[in-house]
Every structure is written in structure tokens, then in C-alpha cells.
A and B are shown apart, each in its own frame.
Chain A
């Protein structure tokens, strides 16, 4: 993946310059989003829902960061926090080194051009009473860019770029299939030439064959336009395919953050391991039994003590119920929030400790023991 060396349009804060020579496009520092609890009669002490509870991470220019987790883990809320669609109740979102919370409404509107979102449901994301041309030129109208005829030319170019026919510009959303509608949503997202796109379950509602088409489109556009993606999904297969790095969320927290290959080969956090093992395989299961977690995800209103995962964790020990683990680096570029990461367990075959240079070789060796594929 080519790193986009685009010059910064805004001067970064001095503190951030000192932090890194290669400043990430997006940096989250201890981001929190609490929703106030429902107040009942004579009860004002309702507990807050801690949808996102202290997430810190960076997204490099041109990379795709996957965010996975089950419903209620806070991944979508985090996506909205990144764009300040739901301003965080704590922590900072630094976009190009600039804290979004410090921007005026006017400045924020300018910033919004550089960050876009694509939602899961292309049916509800498009106004049914507007033509595709009107939908795609809306952003230009709002920002007062180009003349009306230039806008339509731009819209045609966008349709072409996402693989739709330019003569369909006067059609309405209902005249398109689900996959085509998602292409329209993507076209709208890239209209203002953004730097960052948050894709929130962008391919989850699509059929397998259409999903593959839209994923390919996203990969192609990323290369062509130097986009950075935050790709939020519950689908671990899709996330592996598209992401350079992956963050695993559980109950509002990041429990693991790692490069994609290492995470899928040898997860550090027991929750990541269970999640991966629960995924149905195509073809007969080889190597490794399926870990079936007991119980449901606890409520974010009243999370368990210590490590939030401990009641369901097959590896839990006494300490886990008392002390919440921090997200720490256990191997180069591999972070996990666990007192007893799976790194410490002697692994069969390649040990996860031998990371780094041996990575690509190890991954090949490892594959010999796994199924090499379900398709001839």
C-alpha cells in the first residue's frame, strides 16, 4: 500500500510535531462517549451507558484500519465520534494534528470535507425523492463549489469512477439495486475529495457476490485517491481482506490492536481468539477446536469488575476480576489489553514471539498446516 505523502494543509500543533515525524492522519486519545442513563421519576442517578470507554489509537495515511467487535461493543459509536457526528464526552480526536473539539462551526464544516462516512444501509442513506445527480451534487452546492453545469460533469465523473453508467444520473435511488445504491453512497463520499472515509458496516447488508464487487471498488478507489479508511464491521472475513491493521473492541474498549496478518494467525487476547474461532469455516474445520463462549456480552451500563471480558474468558484468573488490564504492547506493533495474553502460552508451531522479519515466511509455513483453501 502506498503511503500518501500529501503535504499538510493545516499547520499541526507543535506538540504533535514533536510526537512523531510521520504524523498519523487520525489520532484518538482516550476517547470516551457516555450516553446519559434514562431518568425515571425520583431517580436522577441513572447510570450512564459507557458506549466508548477510553479508546486510543492512530490511523496512518493511506492505511485501512479495521474495527471489529460484536453488537454493542461501541465500534459504530467510535466511528461517529471520529467524525464528531456524536461528539465524544471525553478525550480528543486529532485529525491532521488538529483537535476537532477546538474548531468553530465554520472550521468544522471545512474539515468535514476531508472526512466522510458510508453507512450500512444504502436504502435509508439516500433520499428517495432526489435523483442521483442531485444527491451527488449536493455537497458542491452546500460548499458553493463550481457552476451548476460543472457540478453535473463532476457527478458524471463520480458515477463513472464507481462503476455506474453516467446516463443513469437522472434516475432515483429506487431504480438501483442494493449494490448499486452502495456505489452511489461511495460516490457521494468521495465527491469532495476526502482524506478519510469511515465505512460503517458498508458491505454488511449486501449479498456475497455483490459484497465482493463493492469491496473491490473500495480497494481500487483507495489506491487511486490515496484514501485512508476506518473500516468498521462485524465480519471478520471482510475485515481481514481489506485491513492493514485491526482493532478488536469489547464493551466500549479496544482489547487488541495489531497488524492484520499477526492477529489472524495468533491473536493475543482470548476474546479475539474466541471471535476468530467462532467463525464458521468454509469446508471441513482443520486444526483447532471451536471455542464457544458462554453467555452474552454484559451490559455497558453495568460492566463487570476488572477486565470486562473476565466472566466469559476461558483463561481467566483471580487477578482478572479485580484489576482492569491496560492496552499494552506485547510484541512489536501488537497491543492487547490482557493480563495473560496468549503470547505467554507456548504456542504450537510458530511462536508468536518470533515476529517482525520472519513474518511473511512464518505465515507461509503456517499455511501448510491449515487448509489451503476450499476452492480448487
Chain B
């Protein structure tokens, strides 16, 4: 698949901690095609955010990419220099974070924050950059964009701040946007606005999106393909409709069942089906499958050998021995 915008191959990212080496990302493969929205879903500690930060080379100094390739437009970002990365970040790959209040500079005016990117990467003059910043703010649905240029972040609501983040991300027409929990801090009605906006913009600007979230609903409404992460690995990857109609991995299935449904009759006892136990400690993983301690279908083989991520149906890969024909 040479036409993929981003191609992550066997990515391993480890962190040194007091408790030993934490293997946060353990061999992730991920492809994102042009104009495609790929969802990366998982619970805390699954490695989804570390994967994203590895792609952007934004992992803290206690961590490092120990193995693997991150191929983006013919360049391996895993080995790119700091200088090369500065040309990529915010320019060809842009990132949107969860909390717009902490990712916007509180002492800079909105206009300056959005136009800085344009001046830095596209060499526009201050006036040109401000004028384009105004257009961008209008494009992401901020009312009265001209007046907003002079505002500080605290003067805007959470939803408006996230729109500013998106405008900044779009400023250089990136090939890829990495959105890390972009709507998690927002209320549902505002979340709906932001998701609609992201999809609109993706279509108009033709960029690809890597959408990271813990929310299966957000994935289901916006992504084309979904990768489910568990304990630093991709457990399952499929087209969004396939994944929701026919989840194969016991973890995916358990996760979907444990979300209360809106349109199903409530069980008489009001009890939800749960996945027992908790996520394993990434510093001392057992041999074999990482999900073995919580899996209802665990067999002897799962405790001995780690299952590979294999294509068991068309475009549907799963990391589980249950599907070993």
C-alpha cells in the first residue's frame, strides 16, 4: 500500500520508570489512506495516545521509540532529526489535543496564535497571516471571527477554543490531522458540533485524520476504519460498520457490551455484562496473550504463545487464537 499517507510498521515505544521498563506500545502496525479517518480506540493505558505522540515524536524524555518505522510521505519519522520534525509538525501533520485550554497559550491573543503557524510555515507577512487567520476562524464556524482575533483563550467557551485549535491545525493544509480525544472535554451537544465540523473539513480539505478516543460512539459516527488497542497492541482492526456488526476479539466484544445501550430494553436485574479484572501491568506482562487474564475464552495456548494480528476476514484483522483456522 504505497499510496498510504501514513504507514506505521512494528512500532515499539518504551518508558523507563521506577518499576522498570514500561512497554507502552508493543509492535503497532497502522495504515492511513488519503482522506481516510482512522479511529484508534482503547481504554487508559492501552497505548493509543503514546502511539500518536510517537508519530509526532512528542514523547517525554523518559520514553523512546525502540523499534519500528513511521513512514510519512516517504520519510521515516522514527529516525527524522529534530529539525526535520519541526518542518513536519504543525505543517504537514497537525495535532488537536483534548484540552484546548492547556494547548492554547493563555497570554497570546487568538489571532496571534493562529497566524503564528502561517508565518512560521508559510512565510506570510503579519497582515496576510492575520487576514487568513480570520478566514480560518470563520471556516471553523466561529461567529464574528474578526472580533475574536483580539480575544484571549479564556474569553472563549470550551467549544469555541476547540474550534480555534482546529483552525490552527488546518492553517497549513496538513496531509494528516491527529486528533487526540478532541471532544472528550466537551458536552454532548458541543461534541456533536465539533464532530460535524471535523468531518466537513476533512472532506473540504482532503486531509486524513487519525482520531484517538476512548468513546466507541465517537468512533462509530466519524471513522471509516477502527483499530482497537489493548495493552500496547492492536487487538482488532476493521471497517467501522464491520467492527460494530461483527466484533471478533473478545476484548472488543466485551467493551461494546459493557457500554449501556440507548435503544435496547434494560436487563431485568439492571446489571451490565462486564469484562472482569483490570488492565495488566505493562511493566510485567505475562507470556502469551495480554488479554488472557480477563478473557472468557482463554485456553492453554493463550498462556504460552502470543497471537499475531492476522487477517481472518477481508480487511478485518484480529489478534486472537480463537480465529486460528
* Residues of chain B with a CB closer than 8 A to A211's CB: 258
* Residues of chain B with a CB closer than 8 A to A234's CB: 187-188
6 A-B residue contacts at CB 8 Å? A71-B187, A209-B43, A215-B272, A237-B261, A240-B266, A280-B191
Nearest CB of B to A25, in Å? 19
Nearest CB of A to B178, in Å? 20
Beyond A278-B189, A280-B215, A370-B263, is A241–B196 a contact (Cβ under 8 Å)? no
- Interface size in chain A (residues, C-beta < 8 A): 51
Nearest CB of B to A203, in Å? 10
Beyond A70-B188, A278-B189, A375-B257, is A241–B218 a contact (Cβ under 8 Å)? no
* Residues of chain A with a CB closer than 8 A to B218's CB: 280
A283 vs B263: C-alpha distance in the bound complex, in angstroms? Answer: 12
- Bits for A258-297, please: 1 = Cβ < 8 Å to B, else 0: 0000001000000000111011111111000010110011
* Residues of chain A with a CB closer than 8 A to B265's CB: 363-364, 367
Instruction: Give the interface residue-count category, chain B.
Output: 35 or more
Whether B264 contacts A372 by the Cβ 8 Å rule is yes
Chain A positions 195-253 with a Cβ under 8 Å from a chain B Cβ: 207-213, 215-216, 219-220, 234, 236-238, 240-242
A371 at the interface (CB under 8 A from B): yes
Whether A296 contacts B190 by the Cβ 8 Å rule is yes
* Residues of chain B with a CB closer than 8 A to A302's CB: none
Whether B214 contacts A207 by the Cβ 8 Å rule is yes
* Residues of chain A with a CB closer than 8 A to B120's CB: none
* Residues of chain B with a CB closer than 8 A to A297's CB: 187
Chain B positions 210-266 with a Cβ under 8 Å from a chain A Cβ: 214-218, 220-221, 241, 244-247, 253-266
A275 vs B253: C-alpha distance in the bound complex, in angstroms? Answer: 27
Which chain A residue shows the least CB distance to B247? Answer: A375
Whether A282 contacts B278 by the Cβ 8 Å rule is no
Whether A278 contacts B188 by the Cβ 8 Å rule is yes
B67 at the interface (CB under 8 A from A): no
A208 vs B260: C-alpha distance in the bound complex, in angstroms? Answer: 10
Whether A282 contacts B259 by the Cβ 8 Å rule is yes
* Residues of chain B with a CB closer than 8 A to A349's CB: none
B106 at the interface (CB under 8 A from A): no
Whether A279 contacts B258 by the Cβ 8 Å rule is no
B274 at the interface (CB under 8 A from A): yes
A237 vs B260: C-alpha distance in the bound complex, in angstroms? Answer: 5
Beyond A207-B44, A210-B278, A215-B272, is A70–B264 a contact (Cβ under 8 Å)? no
Whether B214 contacts A208 by the Cβ 8 Å rule is yes
Whether A70 contacts B262 by the Cβ 8 Å rule is no
Whether A242 contacts B270 by the Cβ 8 Å rule is yes
Beyond A216-B272, A372-B264, is A283–B245 a contact (Cβ under 8 Å)? yes
A89 at the interface (CB under 8 A from B): no
B192 at the interface (CB under 8 A from A): yes
- If A219-B271, A236-B188 are given as contacts, then 16 extra A-B residue pairs at C-beta distance below 8 Å, sorted by A number, are A208-B255, A209-B274, A210-B43, A219-B270, A237-B260, A241-B266, A275-B188, A279-B217, A282-B220, A282-B261, A283-B244, A293-B192, A367-B264, A372-B264, A374-B244, A374-B245
Nearest CB of A to B113, in Å? 20
B159 at the interface (CB under 8 A from A): yes
- Interface of A toward B, CB cutoff 8 Å: 70-71, 177-180, 207-213, 215-216, 219-220, 234, 236-238, 240-242, 264, 274-276, 278-285, 290, 292-293, 296-297, 363-364, 367, 370-376
Whether B264 contacts A177 by the Cβ 8 Å rule is no
B308 at the interface (CB under 8 A from A): no
* Residues of chain B with a CB closer than 8 A to A278's CB: 188-189, 191-192
Whether A208 contacts B262 by the Cβ 8 Å rule is no
B84 at the interface (CB under 8 A from A): no
Nearest CB of A to B50, in Å? 16
Whether B217 contacts A282 by the Cβ 8 Å rule is yes
A281 vs B220: C-alpha distance in the bound complex, in angstroms? Answer: 7
* Residues of chain B with a CB closer than 8 A to A364's CB: 265
Which among A208, A278, A367, A370 has the highest number of chain B CB atoms within 10 Å? A208
Contact of B187 among A70, A179, A284 (CB under 8 A): A70
Nearest CB of B to A299, in Å? 10
* Residues of chain A with a CB closer than 8 A to B192's CB: 278, 280, 290, 292-293
* Residues of chain A with a CB closer than 8 A to B195's CB: 280
Beyond A208-B214, A210-B278, A283-B220, is A292–B264 a contact (Cβ under 8 Å)? no
Whether B262 contacts A240 by the Cβ 8 Å rule is yes
Which chain A residue shows the least CB distance to B185? Answer: A71
Whether B221 contacts A285 by the Cβ 8 Å rule is yes
B157 at the interface (CB under 8 A from A): yes
Whether A281 contacts B262 by the Cβ 8 Å rule is yes
A358 vs B95: C-alpha distance in the bound complex, in angstroms? Answer: 51
A236 vs B215: C-alpha distance in the bound complex, in angstroms? Answer: 13
A177 vs B188: C-alpha distance in the bound complex, in angstroms? Answer: 27
Nearest CB of A to B163, in Å? 11
* Residues of chain A with a CB closer than 8 A to B244's CB: 282-284, 374
* Residues of chain A with a CB closer than 8 A to B221's CB: 280-281, 285
A374 vs B262: C-alpha distance in the bound complex, in angstroms? Answer: 11
Contact of A216 among B158, B220, B274 (CB under 8 A): B274
A179 vs B270: C-alpha distance in the bound complex, in angstroms? Answer: 19
A211 vs B157: C-alpha distance in the bound complex, in angstroms? Answer: 28
Whether A208 contacts B270 by the Cβ 8 Å rule is no
Whether A280 contacts B217 by the Cβ 8 Å rule is yes
Nearest CB of A to B155, in Å? 12
A280 vs B259: C-alpha distance in the bound complex, in angstroms? Answer: 12
A113 vs B187: C-alpha distance in the bound complex, in angstroms? Answer: 34
A284 vs B264: C-alpha distance in the bound complex, in angstroms? Answer: 15
* Residues of chain A with a CB closer than 8 A to B254's CB: 209
* Residues of chain B with a CB closer than 8 A to A285's CB: 221
* Residues of chain A with a CB closer than 8 A to B245's CB: 283, 374, 376
Contact of B216 among A216, A276, A282, A371 (CB under 8 A): A282
B168 at the interface (CB under 8 A from A): no
Whether B272 contacts A241 by the Cβ 8 Å rule is yes
B128 at the interface (CB under 8 A from A): no
